[in-house]
Amino acid sequence: MQDAREHAQRVTLAQVADRAGVSLKTASRALGGEQYVSQDTLSKVLAAATALGYQRNAAASMLASGQLAESIGLVGGDFTNPFYSVLAQSMENEIRQQGMHLTVATSGESEDQERRIVDDLASRQAKALVVVSAMSDHAHYAQVQARGVPVVFVDRPPVHLDADSVVFDNRMGGRLAARHLLDTGHTRIAFVGDYAWLPTYRARLEGMAAVLDGAPSSSWRDLLRDDAHDVASSRARTRELLALPTPPTAIVAGNNRILLGVLEELSATSMNDAPAVIGIDEPEWARVMGITTVAGDVEDVGRHAARLAISRLTDRTRPAEHIVLPMHLTPRRSTAGRDPASRDPGTR
């Protein structure tokens, strides 16, 4: 690893500018992500920086003075979701063995905020970044990579960018949830999902559609509710579903926070009238409450992400690696021992 770092430090900004055929100031602006740099110039500078293995060293003086230790940055969307605490702990356990620490920041699911955080972490000499991105296009990250900062995408894959990634097989997750409910006799199956633009939501929806669209008497698309990103909005979507003339006999909650909102709203409902519930993702309390879940191993995601980031520091030329981890269904009492027909007015 040390040889790679020493090589990156030997490459100067002046060499990048010379190779790209631009001034030193223009090269600095391009690699700093500043505006008013033409796309043609930016492409030349990024190509030169990548070819030379340049790593921006804006924080070198801080490192030398001991004010800044080597770190890997984790940028997430919504840290109220327990997914992120498990991910962060797993990553930190892994990188601590390399004498590194984790720096954590949240974008609040804002593209602009994510861009500012990423540029700041890169300029402060984060050795690598692991990102759960709110962006729909990740071309901006090419500038970060050109500075010599590896980027690993977690949970949501990169778009228009060649980069390492670790994601769950979310289509599998949707299929498992839908198949379990069909096999237990449900036809009025609701899905309360996250922001409609999220790739995790879209993949889980596609998985459910692959099972439910061909099912006899299935009216699940009329029971689809999205943009339920937090507890309050998922409670509102659940309340709306329960108020229907023919309410669902089962609800699939699209993530941890949505599951909490669904359960809070159902807490005021008679157990005899309450629909079956499946949560996608698994908070610890789901086991205690007996909630059926479909989930993957978040700790495994963190381990893979950390290892990919560290590996990229020692070999920047290897092909991008895309890891897809499986999801598994754990049946519990929230979907067991219930007769869907007893709660479906259409069957009485």
* pLDDT, position 54: 76
CATH class of 170-296+329-347: alpha beta
For 45-57, how does the pLDDT look when each residue is reduced to its tens digit (9 = 90+)? 888 887 787 765 5
**Block residue for tokens 């059926």:** 292
* pLDDT, position 337: 63
* pLDDT, position 317: 82
Contacting residues for 325 by C-beta, under 8 A, at least 6 apart: 166, 167, 168, 169, 296, 297, 300, 301, 304
User: What is the pTM assigned to this prediction?
Assistant: 0.78
Using 70 as the pLDDT threshold, list the residues of the chain that sit under it.
1-10, 32-36, 55-69, 217-218, 270-272, 337-348
For 134-188, how does the pLDDT look when each residue is reduced to its tens digit (9 = 90+)? 999 999 999 899 888 999 999 999 999 999 999 999 999 999 999 999 999 998 9
Q: In whole angstroms, what is the distance from residue 208 CA to residue 252 CA?
A: 10
* pLDDT, position 344: 53
* pLDDT, position 265: 95
> What CATH number belongs to 1-55?
1.10.260.40
Q: In whole angstroms, what is the distance from residue 77 CA to residue 225 CA?
A: 21
* pLDDT, position 56: 58
**HEC per residue, 299-314:** HHHHHHHHHHHHHHHH
* pLDDT, position 313: 86
Domain range annotation of the chain? 1-55, 170-296+329-347
Q: What angle do CA 49, 41, 116 make, to 5 degrees?
A: 70
For 248-270, how does the pLDDT look when each residue is reduced to its tens digit (9 = 90+)? 999 999 999 999 999 999 998 76
Cα maximum dimension of the chain: 79
Of 340, 343, 301, 264, the C-alpha closest to 130 is: 301
